Amino acid sequence: MNAFKLASRLSSRAAVAQFAPRPAAIGVGISNATRCPALPALSQQQQAFISSTTPASKSPELYELGSVDHGFTDDRIDHVAEPERRAFTYLLLSGVRFAYASTARVLVVKFVSSMSASADVLALASAEFDVGGVAQGKTITVKWRGKPVFIRHRTPAEISAEAGVALSSLRDEETDDDRTLKPEWLVVLGICTHLGCVPISGAGDYNGWFCPCHGSHYDISGRIRKGPAPLNLEIPPYKFTGDTKILIG
Ligand code: FES
Protein backbone atom coordinates (compact mmCIF):
# COMPACT_ATOMS: atom_id res chain seq x y z
CA MET A 1 0.00 0.00 0.00
CA ASN A 2 1.45 3.34 -0.94
CA ALA A 3 1.63 6.30 1.44
CA PHE A 4 -1.29 8.17 -0.13
CA LYS A 5 -3.68 5.23 0.23
CA LEU A 6 -2.53 4.66 3.80
CA ALA A 7 -3.11 8.30 4.76
CA SER A 8 -6.61 8.46 3.25
CA ARG A 9 -7.55 5.19 4.89
CA LEU A 10 -6.25 6.30 8.25
CA SER A 11 -8.07 9.57 8.02
CA SER A 12 -11.36 7.77 7.34
CA ARG A 13 -10.65 5.55 10.34
CA ALA A 14 -10.00 8.56 12.47
CA ALA A 15 -13.26 10.19 11.35
CA VAL A 16 -15.19 7.07 12.24
CA ALA A 17 -13.42 6.91 15.56
CA GLN A 18 -14.59 10.42 16.42
CA PHE A 19 -18.24 9.29 16.45
CA ALA A 20 -17.78 5.75 17.59
CA PRO A 21 -18.39 4.79 21.25
CA ARG A 22 -15.35 5.46 23.38
CA PRO A 23 -13.69 2.70 25.33
CA ALA A 24 -14.02 2.76 29.06
CA ALA A 25 -10.38 3.59 29.59
CA ILE A 26 -9.56 7.09 28.51
CA GLY A 27 -6.45 7.49 26.42
CA VAL A 28 -6.31 3.89 25.26
CA GLY A 29 -7.45 4.80 21.75
CA ILE A 30 -9.64 2.88 19.40
CA SER A 31 -9.56 -0.90 19.72
CA ASN A 32 -10.72 -3.39 17.18
CA ALA A 33 -13.75 -4.22 19.35
CA THR A 34 -15.15 -0.66 19.07
CA ARG A 35 -14.55 -0.18 15.40
CA CYS A 36 -17.27 -0.37 12.83
CA PRO A 37 -17.61 -4.03 11.94
CA ALA A 38 -17.87 -3.22 8.26
CA LEU A 39 -14.35 -1.84 8.24
CA PRO A 40 -11.30 -4.11 7.89
CA ALA A 41 -9.05 -4.69 10.90
CA LEU A 42 -6.24 -2.23 11.61
CA SER A 43 -2.68 -3.19 12.00
CA GLN A 44 -0.77 -2.33 15.18
CA GLN A 45 1.08 0.38 13.28
CA GLN A 46 -2.18 1.96 12.21
CA GLN A 47 -3.61 1.77 15.73
CA ALA A 48 -0.50 3.39 17.15
CA PHE A 49 -0.78 6.20 14.59
CA ILE A 50 -4.45 6.85 15.42
CA SER A 51 -3.74 6.82 19.16
CA SER A 52 -1.02 9.41 18.71
CA THR A 53 -3.20 11.72 16.57
CA THR A 54 -6.62 11.34 18.25
CA PRO A 55 -7.08 13.57 21.31
CA ALA A 56 -8.06 11.80 24.46
CA SER A 57 -11.47 12.69 25.90
CA LYS A 58 -11.20 14.50 29.20
CA SER A 59 -13.63 16.55 31.30
CA PRO A 60 -12.27 20.10 31.80
CA GLU A 61 -11.45 21.24 35.28
CA LEU A 62 -13.42 24.22 36.66
CA TYR A 63 -10.40 26.53 36.57
CA GLU A 64 -9.96 25.72 32.89
CA LEU A 65 -13.32 27.36 32.03
CA GLY A 66 -11.96 30.87 32.65
CA SER A 67 -12.76 33.40 35.35
CA VAL A 68 -15.92 32.86 37.36
CA ASP A 69 -18.45 35.69 37.36
CA HIS A 70 -19.20 36.59 40.96
CA GLY A 71 -21.19 39.68 40.06
CA PHE A 72 -24.53 38.11 40.72
CA THR A 73 -23.66 37.03 44.22
CA ASP A 74 -21.60 40.13 45.01
CA ASP A 75 -24.29 42.60 43.97
CA ARG A 76 -27.25 40.86 45.45
CA ILE A 77 -29.08 42.94 47.96
CA ASP A 78 -30.20 40.21 50.25
CA HIS A 79 -28.86 41.79 53.35
CA VAL A 80 -31.00 44.69 54.54
CA ALA A 81 -29.88 46.52 57.60
CA GLU A 82 -33.37 46.84 59.02
CA PRO A 83 -35.79 44.70 56.98
CA GLU A 84 -38.70 45.61 59.22
CA ARG A 85 -38.30 49.28 58.20
CA ARG A 86 -38.51 48.59 54.47
CA ALA A 87 -42.18 49.51 54.23
CA PHE A 88 -41.56 52.73 56.15
CA THR A 89 -38.69 53.63 53.81
CA TYR A 90 -40.82 53.05 50.75
CA LEU A 91 -43.62 55.11 52.27
CA LEU A 92 -41.26 57.97 53.08
CA LEU A 93 -39.70 58.02 49.62
CA SER A 94 -43.11 57.88 47.94
CA GLY A 95 -44.37 60.73 50.11
CA VAL A 96 -41.44 62.95 49.26
CA ARG A 97 -41.82 62.30 45.55
CA PHE A 98 -45.54 62.98 45.74
CA ALA A 99 -44.82 66.29 47.47
CA TYR A 100 -42.36 67.22 44.71
CA ALA A 101 -44.93 66.36 42.02
CA SER A 102 -47.67 68.36 43.75
CA THR A 103 -45.44 71.40 44.13
CA ALA A 104 -44.43 71.25 40.47
CA ARG A 105 -48.07 70.99 39.42
CA VAL A 106 -49.09 74.01 41.52
CA LEU A 107 -46.23 76.07 40.08
CA VAL A 108 -47.18 75.17 36.51
CA VAL A 109 -50.86 75.97 37.08
CA LYS A 110 -50.00 79.31 38.68
CA PHE A 111 -47.64 80.22 35.86
CA VAL A 112 -50.18 79.39 33.16
CA SER A 113 -53.03 81.16 34.93
CA SER A 114 -50.87 84.26 35.42
CA MET A 115 -50.60 84.57 31.63
CA SER A 116 -54.37 84.75 31.08
CA ALA A 117 -56.35 87.95 31.43
CA SER A 118 -57.60 88.83 34.90
CA ALA A 119 -61.30 89.07 35.71
CA ASP A 120 -61.39 92.86 35.67
CA VAL A 121 -59.65 92.97 32.30
CA LEU A 122 -62.14 90.47 30.89
CA ALA A 123 -65.00 92.53 32.30
CA LEU A 124 -63.67 95.61 30.54
CA ALA A 125 -63.17 93.78 27.26
CA SER A 126 -66.90 93.66 26.63
CA ALA A 127 -69.81 95.56 28.07
CA GLU A 128 -73.55 95.15 27.67
CA PHE A 129 -75.97 98.05 27.61
CA ASP A 130 -79.77 98.15 27.70
CA VAL A 131 -80.90 100.93 25.40
CA GLY A 132 -84.62 100.28 25.83
CA GLY A 133 -85.06 103.63 27.59
CA VAL A 134 -83.47 105.73 24.84
CA ALA A 135 -86.11 107.69 22.96
CA GLN A 136 -86.00 108.14 19.21
CA GLY A 137 -83.81 111.03 18.17
CA LYS A 138 -81.72 110.80 21.33
CA THR A 139 -78.08 109.86 21.80
CA ILE A 140 -76.48 108.34 24.89
CA THR A 141 -72.80 108.10 25.64
CA VAL A 142 -71.48 104.94 27.29
CA LYS A 143 -67.97 103.95 28.27
CA TRP A 144 -66.21 100.93 26.79
CA ARG A 145 -62.55 100.15 27.42
CA GLY A 146 -62.11 103.68 28.65
CA LYS A 147 -63.45 105.22 25.45
CA PRO A 148 -66.74 107.05 24.86
CA VAL A 149 -69.25 105.29 22.63
CA PHE A 150 -72.23 107.07 21.09
CA ILE A 151 -75.47 105.09 20.75
CA ARG A 152 -78.14 106.95 18.81
CA HIS A 153 -81.74 105.86 18.45
CA ARG A 154 -82.51 107.18 15.01
CA THR A 155 -85.92 108.20 13.70
CA PRO A 156 -87.33 106.82 10.42
CA ALA A 157 -86.78 110.23 8.83
CA GLU A 158 -83.10 110.21 9.84
CA ILE A 159 -82.68 106.69 8.51
CA SER A 160 -84.17 107.53 5.13
CA ALA A 161 -82.18 110.77 4.92
CA GLU A 162 -78.88 108.99 5.58
CA ALA A 163 -79.74 106.19 3.17
CA GLY A 164 -80.28 108.76 0.41
CA VAL A 165 -76.84 110.37 0.67
CA ALA A 166 -74.82 109.91 -2.51
CA LEU A 167 -71.56 108.13 -1.95
CA SER A 168 -69.80 110.52 -4.33
CA SER A 169 -70.44 113.34 -1.90
CA LEU A 170 -68.64 111.57 0.93
CA ARG A 171 -64.97 111.89 1.84
CA ASP A 172 -64.89 108.42 3.36
CA GLU A 173 -67.33 106.52 1.19
CA GLU A 174 -69.55 104.19 3.22
CA THR A 175 -73.24 103.48 2.89
CA ASP A 176 -75.45 103.93 5.92
CA ASP A 177 -76.51 100.33 5.64
CA ASP A 178 -72.90 99.16 6.02
CA ARG A 179 -72.55 101.08 9.27
CA THR A 180 -75.48 99.62 11.21
CA LEU A 181 -76.78 96.22 12.28
CA LYS A 182 -80.27 97.66 12.84
CA PRO A 183 -81.06 100.89 10.97
CA GLU A 184 -82.65 102.49 14.04
CA TRP A 185 -79.53 102.07 16.15
CA LEU A 186 -76.20 103.68 15.35
CA VAL A 187 -73.20 102.72 17.49
CA VAL A 188 -69.94 104.66 16.95
CA LEU A 189 -66.82 105.49 18.92
CA GLY A 190 -66.98 109.03 20.29
CA ILE A 191 -63.48 109.92 19.13
CA CYS A 192 -62.81 112.38 16.34
CA THR A 193 -60.76 110.82 13.58
CA HIS A 194 -58.72 114.00 13.20
CA LEU A 195 -56.77 114.28 16.45
CA GLY A 196 -58.92 112.41 18.91
CA CYS A 197 -61.19 114.98 20.52
CA VAL A 198 -64.67 113.97 21.69
CA PRO A 199 -67.30 115.42 19.35
CA ILE A 200 -70.53 116.99 20.59
CA SER A 201 -73.76 115.09 19.89
CA GLY A 202 -76.63 116.71 18.02
CA ALA A 203 -74.47 119.55 16.76
CA GLY A 204 -72.85 120.64 13.51
CA ASP A 205 -74.18 121.30 10.04
CA TYR A 206 -75.55 117.78 9.68
CA ASN A 207 -77.11 117.38 13.13
CA GLY A 208 -74.88 114.46 13.88
CA TRP A 209 -71.71 115.34 15.77
CA PHE A 210 -69.47 118.36 15.78
CA CYS A 211 -65.85 118.34 16.91
CA PRO A 212 -65.05 121.75 18.44
CA CYS A 213 -61.29 121.19 18.35
CA HIS A 214 -60.86 121.92 14.64
CA GLY A 215 -64.39 122.05 13.33
CA SER A 216 -65.20 118.62 11.91
CA HIS A 217 -68.85 117.87 11.10
CA TYR A 218 -70.32 114.36 11.11
CA ASP A 219 -73.78 113.32 9.95
CA ILE A 220 -76.28 111.07 11.77
CA SER A 221 -74.53 108.06 10.34
CA GLY A 222 -71.22 109.25 11.87
CA ARG A 223 -69.71 109.97 8.48
CA ILE A 224 -67.35 112.91 8.04
CA ARG A 225 -68.98 115.61 5.93
CA LYS A 226 -66.97 118.71 6.65
CA GLY A 227 -63.76 119.75 8.40
CA PRO A 228 -60.26 118.30 8.69
CA ALA A 229 -61.16 114.81 9.96
CA PRO A 230 -60.22 112.30 7.27
CA LEU A 231 -62.41 109.35 8.23
CA ASN A 232 -65.85 108.47 9.49
CA LEU A 233 -66.36 107.81 13.19
CA GLU A 234 -65.18 104.30 13.95
CA ILE A 235 -67.70 101.54 14.62
CA PRO A 236 -66.73 99.27 17.51
CA PRO A 237 -67.41 95.53 17.44
CA TYR A 238 -70.88 94.96 18.85
CA LYS A 239 -73.93 92.75 18.60
CA PHE A 240 -77.50 92.67 19.85
CA THR A 241 -78.10 90.18 22.65
CA GLY A 242 -81.79 91.15 22.84
CA ASP A 243 -84.22 93.57 21.24
CA THR A 244 -82.75 96.48 23.14
CA LYS A 245 -79.55 95.00 24.56
CA ILE A 246 -76.24 95.75 22.91
CA LEU A 247 -73.01 93.94 23.76
CA ILE A 248 -69.98 95.97 22.80
CA GLY A 249 -66.65 94.22 22.50
S1 FES B 1 -59.72 116.69 16.69
FE2 FES B 1 -61.69 116.84 15.87
S3 FES B 1 -61.45 118.22 14.30
FE4 FES B 1 -59.49 118.01 15.08
Residue-wise pLDDT tens digits, 136-188: 999 999 999 889 999 999 999 999 999 999 999 999 999 999 999 999 999 99
Q: What does the pLDDT read at residue 57?
A: 58
Distance separating the N- and C-terminal Cα atoms of the chain: 118
The ligand 1 atom at the shortest distance from the C-alpha of residue 196 is 1
Flag residues of the chain having pLDDT under 50.
1-8, 10-38
Predicted pLDDT at 86: 79
SS3 (DSSP) at 240:
strand
CATH for 127-248 (3.50.30.50, 3.40.640.10, 2.102.10.10, 2.40.50.100):
2.102.10.10
| Residue boundaries of the structural domains of the chain | 127-248
Q: CA angle, corner 179, sides to 177 and 183, nearest 5?
A: 55
Residues marked active site are found at 214
Measured CA to CA, the distance from residue 51 to residue 7 in angstroms comes to 14
Side chain identity, residue 220:
I
Residue 17, ligand 1, Cβ within 6 A: no
Q: Whose CA is nearest to atom 1 of ligand 1?
A: 195
Best mutation site among 200, 211, 218, 234 for ligand 1 pocket (most ligand atoms within 8 Å of CB)? 211
Please tell me if the CB atom of residue 208 comes closer than 6 angstroms to any atom of ligand 1: no
Which secondary structure element, helix H or strand E, spans residue 128, and what is its range? strand 127-130
pLDDT at residue 85, as a whole number? 78
Q: Which atom of ligand 1 is nearest to the CA of 197?
A: 1
Whose C-alpha lies nearest to ligand 1, atom 3?
214
- Per-residue pLDDT at 228: 96
Q: How many A from CA of 208 to the centre of ligand 1? A: 15
pTM: 0.55
Angle, in degrees to the nearest 10, between helices 44-53 and 3-19: 60
- Residue 40: its pLDDT value, please? 58
The pairing of strands 224-226 and 216-218 is: antiparallel
Q: Is the distance from the beta carbon of residue 149 to the nearest atom of ligand 1 less than 6 Å?
A: no
